[in-house]
Structures are given as structure tokens and as C-alpha cells.
Structure 1
């Protein structure tokens, strides 16, 4: 983990939204930053394995975030962060998308003993999954297995701190308004002096299986789920590589348990002229413990060429090799994906 990432929760969140977030106000110990991105993403051939019947699937998006911090005393600060995203309708006409997705919305207090934040935010395990999240199409899914290890989770209370400028500790609790939906997680990353980062995390939460086809909804089953996740990343000169592995179990009260596992690898090499080569691999599986059935959720390799004109503008071309079988994908034919992207950060 680079030292720049070992910062307070609010500025870490701003960096994840946009490394170029501009300070628009700073007076009397209070600052405000605004950032975001506009990104065209055109997919060709296939979309998540499904053949694109026309010429292109438009997956473009626009994000905007606002973050602020106020100095209360020498050892006490307050902060808040909000981020939203809007997509686009993929069509050959002028249909408009009016819906806006809320990604983050939280507030918190920074102390000498760490930062405490409350609201819609990442849980503790996300810092581990980010160690291999370096692709352009579908990497970073290691966090999606259970709610207590996922990003942008409602009703989350989080704690974060950095010890000796080398160990990043995060803990989180999900306090749901429904029965059997609470959860918790904890994770840590140790940054060695020679560029190797080592991360480990654990998360657990209860869950409900709901049949929403009837009114009122019927709870079909309840249970709990847990997840272990570990990660390594290494940077030397222009090369950065990372890998994560996760496993866990969905424990149903009335059904047989389901085990899950996932592995993700990524690497980036930066050339001096602004060009980058990026590669990634991911495979995730589910296995019913009551039978020999196994389902491959993801199995792909991704190769990307990316060019940075400057700090704000980049363009890239990615090819995703989808290795799933037709049975796993539930399709008559599994297609690869080619993505052309242009991204402007502000």
C-alpha cells in the first residue's frame, strides 16, 4: 500500500472517486472538494458473455462527488462525503436516463485514535479486494460475495486507522433495520519497506431469503454467511502486481450449505510515454455441499492497453476472454468482450 493511500478516511474516499478532486473552498479550518469523472465505455461483440445483437452496447457513466473536512481542535476533525453516478440508455435514439445511483453518503469524526464514519460506505474488507482491482471490465468482484464484505453498503458504521505509517486497520458493522441482516468485518494491510503489501480480512453477516413474488413478502429461509479474504500486492519501479483469494460459506438454516471461492490476479506496467499495459485474471465458483454440483460465476482473462494524455484524460482498449461454459453462463453461446473507453477525470 502506497503511503499516499494511508490517509484519513475522507481523503482516501476522495482519491477513490477522483485523484484530481479540486478544492473549491478553504476558510476558517473548513475545506470542500469536488471531483468526478465522465467516461465513455463502448462494448463490442459481447456483454457479460451475451452476444450484442447490434453494433455496440453503451455502458458509459458520469460520477460526481463532494467531500468536506472541518478542523474542530488539534486532534479532532469532522468530515462528510457524497458520490452519485448516472448511466446512459444504450440505444440508437435520444432516449434519456433520468435515474441517478447513490454510491456513497456518510459523515464522520476524525480523532487521534482513528476515524469513525457513519452511513453508506465501504465495509472493512474492501481495502483487501482493491489490491487486485486493476482491470477495466469486471475485476474487483471479490468483495461481492457477502454484504459485510462489500462496498457502498447502507447502515454501515466504520473505523479506520493507520499505525506507524505501515499498518492500515479497518473495522465495520452493518446495523440493519431488518431482523437477521446485521454483520461485521475487520481487515488489515501491512506495507513492508520493500514494496510488498500483505492484507487479510474476515467478514460475517446474517441473511434472509425472501420470496418477493407475493404480497406481503415471505421469508423462505434464514442463515449466516462468512468470508475470509487475503491479498498481496507488490510495486517496483514501473511494475505493479496484485492478487487476492477469498473463500467462505452460505450457511442456510433449512437448505444445504453453499461454499464459495474466488481468485483474482492483476498487473500493470507503466511506460514513460504515458502508455500502460494491464492484465487481469479472475475465477469464482460456488459449490453445493449437499451435492457435487459446482457453478462457475466468473472465469476470464483481460488484457488492456491504456494511454494517458495527461492526468485528466485517458483512453483504453480492453479485450476480455470469457472462459465460462455455456452451461455456467446460461447462454447458447459465450462471447468475449471488446471495450473501447475514453475517461476524463476532474
Structure 2
């Protein structure tokens, strides 16, 4: 893994989703870029087709304050076929230099950098990479990201919010990623979040993640491990849980094949069934760097609330245009 990928990892904190962004304005000190995607997605599950089409539009701005310090801002909005799911995915501003970036607003949490090791599929996957709010994409957050040769470090703190249901959660996350030029990469992270309900303190939610990946030629393989305390699985609070994800990818010219296996289970006494137990495979064809089509299939082995009944499998066809 070369240093250019390290630089991209840091840039992702500011320009995530803007890889194809077009610069629409620039002068000696400032620049403005607009990017996004249009993605048609038809999901077939239990003989029903669901339209999961979405569009993302982002704006990235940067302005030099001095020779070594700059200001930045980023906004991304997602529009869904189901308009009730429209949301501002990211909305933040901050300051940066050769020592890193500090931003505040709605940001990607620290552990996303770790789960990205195995979150490689066009549609499915990442079932064992679920994160608590403080480590996931959340508003009212302050974050730092820095790159030092082959090392990327990231930390964020989510401030306490008042919610309609009476919950007030705040917490932090820390993470690091180290890459070797031979194609080997390591990542680890930790997060804690207070759990308060109606002013009654309860145990903290905690998660630890570790990941490793290796890339050689057209092959990529990765593994992710999660150990958690007091987090929710299928909307039920679990005192202890553990999970992992394995991912592999092979590129054949413009065609990319990928697959994952996800497993996540509560370790509480008496718990029998896994919350996540799924295989997934997909194939993506890149007609151009901006346009691709894909097919993705998920074989779900986890059980439903109905005893001995397995979750329904899902097949998805998609087309995506990046701009």
C-alpha cells in the first residue's frame, strides 16, 4: 500500500464521496468542487422489488489562510426514492495544516476508517461492522485526522444531545491505520459512549475493532474483528457481543468480483441465534471510470423472530454514475 493511498485516506475525511468531483471555481487561494452520484438500485426480496435508488450531491470548499494553514468546508445531501429517508449525510467545516485537520459538524466517525477494510462491496456486506453512534456518522461531533508517513490517526468526540425520547448520549472514538509498501495494512480502533435514559446512568457502550488487509496485483483480502459491550443487536441490548467479517476482491480488467462473510452474535447467557450470519457476492463492471453496473446477492443464514425460520435472501441490480 503506497503513500498515495494514505493521502487519500486523509482526504476522505474531507472529500468522502467526491472522488470524481469537478472543480467549478478556483483562484490563487480558494477552490470549490461539486461532486456526487446517481445510483439506481432495485432490490428483490421475498418476491417483492424495492426501489432503493439514491442520489448524493456534495460540495467541497477550501481556502488558504497562510502558506501552511487552510480552511475547509464540506456538505453532502442524499436523496432517496423514499423521500422520508432523505438526509444530510455530512455537514462540517474546520481548519487544516501539515499536522492534520480539525473539523466540527456532522462527520464520519473514527471507526469507519477501520470498517472500510472489509466494506468493499457494491451493495451488501458490513453486517458485522455496525458501530455505536459516537464512532459512526453523527452530528455535533469534533474530529481530528492526521497523516504521518504511512500512519493515519483519527479521533472524534460526540457531544451530548437532548433527544425526544429522553436519551442523552455522548462519547469518543480513537483509531489508527498503518500501511506497508508491500501491500499489507493494519487498523485498530476503540470507542465508548455513555448510556443515559431519563437521567438514570447505566453501563457504557463500548466497542473495539481490529482489521488487516493485503493487496497484491489484482487480489485484495481483508478481515475485521469486533468485540463489544452493552450494544444493541436487532434492537435488543446485548451485554457482550462479538463478530467478524472476511472480504475478498479480484479485479479482471473492467470487471470486479467481491465477496464477504459476516457473523455477529451476542455472548449473553442463553442467547442461541446470531444477529448477523450472511454470505454475499457481487460483480461490478466499469464501463468508464464514472459509470458502472453491478449485481449483488446476499445469502442470509440468520433466523427471524419466528423459530427455525431463516431470513429471506436478497438480490440487487444497480447502475451508478459518479460526477
TM-score (norm 2): 0.90
Equivalent position to 1:202, from 186, 190, 197: 190
Tell me: CA distance 1:2–1:183, structure 2 relative to 1, closer, same or farther (3 Å): farther
Partner residue in 2 for 1:174: 158
Tell me: CA distance 1:61–1:2, structure 2 relative to 1, closer, same or farther (3 Å): farther
Q: Tell me the secondary structure at the aligned position of residue 127 of structure 1.
A: helix
Partner residue in 2 for 1:334: 311
Structure 2: gaps of 5 or more residues: none
Q: Distance in 1 between matches of 2:304 and 2:8?
A: 46
Q: Could you give the per-residue CA deviations for residues 227-275 of structure 1, whole angstroms, max 9, x where no partner exists?
A: 11000111111111111101110189xxx96112121111111112x11
Q: Distance in 2 between matches of 1:283 and 1:81?
A: 34
Q: Contact 1:8 / 1:115 at 8 angstroms: preserved in 2?
A: no
Is 2:228 aligned against 1:248?
yes
Tell me: CA distance 1:307–1:119, structure 2 relative to 1, closer, same or farther (3 Å): same
Q: Could you give the per-residue CA deviations for residues 165-221 of structure 1, whole angstroms, max 9, x where no partner exists?
A: x00010111111348522111110110121100111111110234xxxxxxxx5676
Q: Contact 1:58 / 1:88 at 8 angstroms: preserved in 2?
A: yes
Structure 1: gaps of 5 or more residues: 90-96, 210-217
Q: Distance in 2 between matches of 1:250 and 1:223?
A: 7
Q: Contact 1:168 / 1:189 at 8 angstroms: preserved in 2?
A: yes
Q: Contact 2:10 / 2:152 at 8 angstroms: preserved in 1?
A: no
- Greater shift in the superposed pair: 133-142 or 242-251: 133-142
Partner residue in 2 for 1:84: 77
Q: Distance in 1 between matches of 2:244 and 2:181?
A: 26
Q: Distance in 2 between matches of 1:41 and 1:243?
A: 27
Q: Tell me the secondary structure at the aligned position of residue 123 of structure 1.
A: coil
Q: 1:184-333 maps to which residues of 2 (within 5 A)?
A: 184-209=172-197, 218=198, 222-250=202-230, 258-272=239-253, 274-288=254-268, 291-327=269-305
Q: Tell me the secondary structure at the aligned position of residue 321 of structure 1.
A: strand
Partner residue in 1 for 2:171: 183
Equivalent position to 2:143, from 158, 163, 170: 158
Tell me: CA distance 1:125–1:2, structure 2 relative to 1, closer, same or farther (3 Å): farther
Q: Distance in 2 between matches of 1:136 and 1:298?
A: 19
Partner residue in 1 for 2:99: 113
TM-score (norm 1): 0.84
Partner residue in 2 for 1:131: 117
The count of aligned residue pairs is 316
Q: Contact 1:10 / 1:81 at 8 angstroms: preserved in 2?
A: no
Partner residue in 1 for 2:42: 42
User: How far off its partner does 1:8 sit?
Assistant: 7.5
Q: Distance in 2 between matches of 1:22 and 1:68?
A: 12
Q: Tell me the secondary structure at the aligned position of residue 7 of structure 1.
A: helix
Q: Distance in 1 between matches of 2:85 and 2:229?
A: 35
Q: Distance in 2 between matches of 1:70 and 1:9?
A: 20
Q: Contact 2:127 / 2:276 at 8 angstroms: preserved in 1?
A: no
Partner residue in 1 for 2:29: 29
Q: Distance in 2 between matches of 1:155 and 1:123?
A: 11
Q: Contact 1:180 / 1:222 at 8 angstroms: preserved in 2?
A: no
Tell me: CA distance 1:284–1:303, structure 2 relative to 1, closer, same or farther (3 Å): same
Partner residue in 2 for 1:102: 88
- RMSD (CA atoms): 2.5
